[in-house]
Protein backbone atom coordinates (compact mmCIF):
# COMPACT_ATOMS: atom_id res chain seq x y z
CA UNK A 1 0.00 0.00 0.00
CA UNK A 2 2.83 2.35 0.83
CA UNK A 3 4.25 1.75 -2.67
CA UNK A 4 1.03 2.98 -4.30
CA UNK A 5 0.91 6.12 -2.14
CA UNK A 6 4.48 7.02 -3.11
CA UNK A 7 3.68 6.49 -6.81
CA UNK A 8 0.52 8.59 -6.50
CA UNK A 9 2.45 11.42 -4.80
CA UNK A 10 5.03 11.42 -7.59
CA UNK A 11 2.36 11.59 -10.25
CA UNK A 12 0.61 14.43 -8.40
CA UNK A 13 3.89 16.32 -8.04
CA UNK A 14 4.66 15.88 -11.74
CA UNK A 15 1.12 16.98 -12.66
CA UNK A 16 1.30 20.03 -10.38
CA UNK A 17 4.73 20.97 -11.75
CA UNK A 18 3.43 20.69 -15.31
CA UNK A 19 0.46 22.93 -14.49
CA UNK A 20 2.79 25.51 -12.93
CA UNK A 21 5.12 25.42 -15.91
CA UNK A 22 2.22 25.79 -18.34
CA UNK A 23 0.84 28.71 -16.35
CA UNK A 24 4.21 30.44 -16.32
CA UNK A 25 4.52 29.97 -20.09
CA UNK A 26 1.07 31.50 -20.67
CA UNK A 27 1.83 34.48 -18.44
CA UNK A 28 5.17 35.03 -20.23
CA UNK A 29 3.50 34.84 -23.65
CA UNK A 30 0.85 37.39 -22.68
CA UNK A 31 3.48 39.72 -21.19
CA UNK A 32 5.75 39.37 -24.25
CA UNK A 33 2.88 40.17 -26.65
CA UNK A 34 2.01 43.30 -24.68
CA UNK A 35 5.61 44.52 -24.92
CA UNK A 36 5.57 44.11 -28.71
CA UNK A 37 2.25 45.92 -29.21
CA UNK A 38 2.43 49.53 -30.30
CA UNK A 39 0.23 51.96 -28.44
CA UNK A 40 -2.70 53.24 -30.53
CA UNK A 41 -1.30 56.76 -30.69
CA UNK A 42 2.13 55.52 -31.86
CA UNK A 43 0.57 53.59 -34.76
CA UNK A 44 -1.32 56.70 -35.83
CA UNK A 45 1.89 58.78 -35.99
CA UNK A 46 3.95 56.14 -37.85
CA UNK A 47 6.39 57.75 -40.30
CA UNK A 48 5.02 58.13 -43.78
CA UNK A 49 6.48 59.53 -46.98
CA UNK A 50 5.46 63.14 -47.50
CA UNK A 51 5.99 65.64 -50.32
CA UNK A 52 8.92 67.13 -48.36
CA UNK A 53 10.59 63.79 -47.60
CA UNK A 54 14.03 63.60 -49.25
CA UNK A 55 15.18 60.41 -50.95
CA UNK A 56 18.84 59.34 -50.92
CA UNK A 57 20.02 56.26 -52.82
CA UNK A 58 23.42 54.75 -51.92
CA UNK A 59 24.99 52.36 -54.44
CA UNK A 60 28.03 50.45 -53.12
CA UNK A 61 30.11 48.56 -55.69
CA UNK A 62 32.44 45.58 -55.30
CA UNK A 63 35.45 47.88 -55.82
CA UNK A 64 34.47 49.70 -52.62
CA UNK A 65 33.34 52.89 -54.33
CA UNK A 66 30.00 54.45 -53.57
CA UNK A 67 27.65 56.69 -55.49
CA UNK A 68 24.98 58.85 -53.89
CA UNK A 69 21.88 59.99 -55.73
CA UNK A 70 19.11 62.20 -54.45
CA UNK A 71 15.66 62.03 -55.89
CA UNK A 72 11.94 62.60 -55.51
CA UNK A 73 9.24 60.13 -54.68
CA UNK A 74 6.60 59.26 -57.24
CA UNK A 75 3.15 60.72 -56.50
CA UNK A 76 1.71 57.26 -55.76
CA UNK A 77 4.40 56.73 -53.06
CA UNK A 78 3.37 59.80 -51.05
CA UNK A 79 1.63 58.63 -47.88
CA UNK A 80 3.20 55.17 -47.79
CA UNK A 81 4.50 53.79 -44.50
CA UNK A 82 7.69 51.78 -44.22
CA UNK A 83 6.08 48.34 -44.69
CA UNK A 84 4.18 49.38 -47.83
CA UNK A 85 7.20 51.18 -49.30
CA UNK A 86 9.44 48.18 -48.56
CA UNK A 87 7.28 46.05 -50.87
CA UNK A 88 7.99 48.48 -53.72
CA UNK A 89 11.77 48.68 -53.23
CA UNK A 90 12.90 45.31 -54.54
CA UNK A 91 16.69 45.05 -54.57
CA UNK A 92 17.20 47.87 -52.07
CA UNK A 93 17.62 47.83 -48.32
CA UNK A 94 16.02 50.63 -46.33
CA UNK A 95 18.71 52.13 -44.08
CA UNK A 96 16.61 54.99 -42.73
CA UNK A 97 12.92 55.77 -42.90
CA UNK A 98 11.49 58.94 -41.43
CA UNK A 99 9.26 61.80 -42.55
CA UNK A 100 12.43 63.84 -43.16
CA UNK A 101 14.49 61.35 -45.17
CA UNK A 102 14.47 57.86 -46.66
CA UNK A 103 17.86 56.27 -47.35
CA UNK A 104 18.02 53.26 -49.67
CA UNK A 105 21.07 51.02 -50.09
CA UNK A 106 21.99 48.61 -52.87
CA UNK A 107 25.17 46.54 -52.96
CA UNK A 108 26.51 45.58 -56.39
CA UNK A 109 28.76 42.71 -57.34
CA UNK A 110 30.08 44.79 -60.25
CA UNK A 111 32.73 47.49 -60.46
CA UNK A 112 31.69 51.15 -60.58
CA UNK A 113 31.83 52.98 -63.92
CA UNK A 114 35.22 54.58 -63.13
CA UNK A 115 36.80 51.20 -62.39
CA UNK A 116 35.17 49.56 -65.42
CA UNK A 117 36.32 52.21 -67.86
CA UNK A 118 39.70 53.28 -66.50
CA UNK A 119 42.95 51.95 -65.20
CA UNK A 120 46.32 53.30 -64.19
CA UNK A 121 49.83 52.15 -63.36
CA UNK A 122 51.08 52.78 -59.86
CA UNK A 123 52.96 51.18 -56.95
CA UNK A 124 51.96 48.38 -54.59
CA UNK A 125 54.36 46.96 -52.00
CA UNK A 126 57.39 48.33 -53.84
CA UNK A 127 56.45 46.90 -57.25
CA UNK A 128 54.93 48.42 -60.38
CA UNK A 129 51.24 47.45 -60.44
CA UNK A 130 48.13 48.05 -62.53
CA UNK A 131 44.92 49.23 -60.85
CA UNK A 132 41.34 49.70 -62.01
CA UNK A 133 39.91 53.20 -61.69
CA UNK A 134 41.80 56.48 -61.64
CA UNK A 135 44.73 57.72 -59.54
CA UNK A 136 42.28 60.01 -57.71
CA UNK A 137 39.79 57.16 -57.16
CA UNK A 138 41.76 53.90 -57.22
CA UNK A 139 39.94 50.61 -57.49
CA UNK A 140 41.06 47.01 -57.10
CA UNK A 141 44.45 45.80 -58.24
CA UNK A 142 44.45 44.17 -61.66
CA UNK A 143 48.07 43.08 -61.97
CA UNK A 144 51.35 43.21 -60.07
CA UNK A 145 54.55 43.08 -62.11
CA UNK A 146 58.02 41.90 -61.10
CA UNK A 147 59.44 45.37 -61.67
CA UNK A 148 60.75 46.72 -58.36
CA UNK A 149 60.29 50.48 -58.07
CA UNK A 150 63.63 50.77 -56.29
CA UNK A 151 65.45 49.96 -59.56
CA UNK A 152 63.72 52.73 -61.54
CA UNK A 153 65.00 56.29 -62.04
CA UNK A 154 63.62 58.96 -59.72
CA UNK A 155 61.61 60.60 -62.55
CA UNK A 156 59.74 57.32 -63.20
CA UNK A 157 59.13 56.77 -59.48
CA UNK A 158 57.52 60.21 -59.18
CA UNK A 159 55.21 59.45 -62.13
CA UNK A 160 54.25 56.09 -60.59
CA UNK A 161 53.59 57.61 -57.18
CA UNK A 162 51.09 59.98 -58.82
CA UNK A 163 49.69 57.20 -61.01
CA UNK A 164 49.98 56.93 -64.78
CA UNK A 165 46.51 56.70 -66.40
CA UNK A 166 46.27 54.38 -69.41
CA UNK A 167 43.52 54.36 -72.05
CA UNK A 168 43.84 50.83 -73.41
CA UNK A 169 45.78 47.57 -73.15
CA UNK A 170 48.33 48.47 -75.83
CA UNK A 171 49.20 51.70 -74.00
CA UNK A 172 49.52 49.78 -70.72
CA UNK A 173 51.84 47.19 -72.31
CA UNK A 174 53.94 49.92 -73.96
CA UNK A 175 54.50 51.69 -70.60
CA UNK A 176 55.25 48.44 -68.76
CA UNK A 177 57.75 47.43 -71.45
CA UNK A 178 59.49 50.77 -71.11
CA UNK A 179 59.74 50.37 -67.33
CA UNK A 180 61.02 46.80 -67.63
CA UNK A 181 63.83 47.98 -69.92
CA UNK A 182 65.37 49.80 -66.94
CA UNK A 183 65.86 46.39 -65.31
CA UNK A 184 67.62 44.99 -68.38
CA UNK A 185 70.04 47.95 -68.55
CA UNK A 186 71.53 47.13 -65.17
Q: What is the pLDDT of residue 182?
A: 79
Q: What is the pLDDT of residue 36?
A: 58
Q: What is the pLDDT of residue 181?
A: 87
Q: Angle at CA 63, nearest 5°, toward 58 and 65?
A: 35
* pLDDT tens string 73-90: 999 999 999 999 998 888
Q: Are 144 and 124 in contact (CB under 8 A)?
A: yes
Give the C-alpha distances (Å, rounded to integers) separating 148 from 122, 130, 156, 170.
Answer: 12, 13, 12, 22
101-107 vs 54-60, strand pairing mode = parallel
* pLDDT tens string 1-56: 555 566 667 776 677 767 777 777 776 777 666 655 555 444 445 889 999 999 99
Task: Place 114 in a pLDDT band, splitting at 50, 70 and 90.
Answer: confident
- The SS3 call for residue 131 is strand
Q: What is the pLDDT of residue 18?
A: 73
Taking the complete model, does pTM exceed 0.75, yes or no?
A: no
Amino acid sequence: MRFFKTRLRRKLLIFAGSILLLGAAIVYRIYDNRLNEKPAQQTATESRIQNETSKLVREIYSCGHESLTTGQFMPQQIGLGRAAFEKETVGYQIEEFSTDQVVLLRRHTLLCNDCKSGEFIGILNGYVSVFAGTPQKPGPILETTRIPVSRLPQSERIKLESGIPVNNISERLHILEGLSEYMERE
